[in-house]
Structure 1
Amino acid sequence: MILEIATLQIRPGQTAAFEAAFAQAQRIVAGMGGYVRHELQRCVEDSHRYALLIWWEALEDHTVGFRGSPEYQEWRALLHHFYDPFPTVEHFVRVAL
């Protein structure tokens, strides 16, 4: 299993709109092949920063399956205009509990 971690910095004054858009967008990612689960967490110290955690069965489920899909274009349209700067996205594999 792979954990995708995206650090999202949301434009000032846009957090409520971002959270509303994410409520729609999460249905898109949840329907993708290889999707396991996800969480969106808001930073305590900076209310405009979020961590998006998505667990995938395999790296390619995210990098090829999701990002190469028509659904990703809908995801982009809903969310990408909220980011400044564009998110850092990394993938992790568990090594210990």
Structure 2
Amino acid sequence: VVIGMRFILKNNVMRLQAYEGKLLEGGEIEAGSERWVPMDDFTYRPEDELGAYYVQSRKLTRGTDFMFVGTGTYKFVVDDLSVAPGRAII
């Protein structure tokens, strides 16, 4: 399960990285199972006026997978997180 998150700067992009561990009965996390989930590298392709970003062959969606932070952007809200099937956020 995801038990924490942190902001990191990778390839000049601020990203969220998950901290996970194995959930045991009773809601405890198995000692020693915690780890920072490795982050995939992404590539930029100049496909249109803004370009496109890919992780492997999957095109990332602006506003869902990433956002631009610049003039006029003073905050962003991280209240709608999703994880892959078989994972959970606690």
TM-score in same-fold range (> 0.5): no
Higher relative contact order at CA 8 Å, sep ≥6: structure 1 or structure 2?
Answer: 1
Q: TM-score scaled to structure 1, two decimals?
A: 0.24
| Rg comparison, structure with higher value | 2
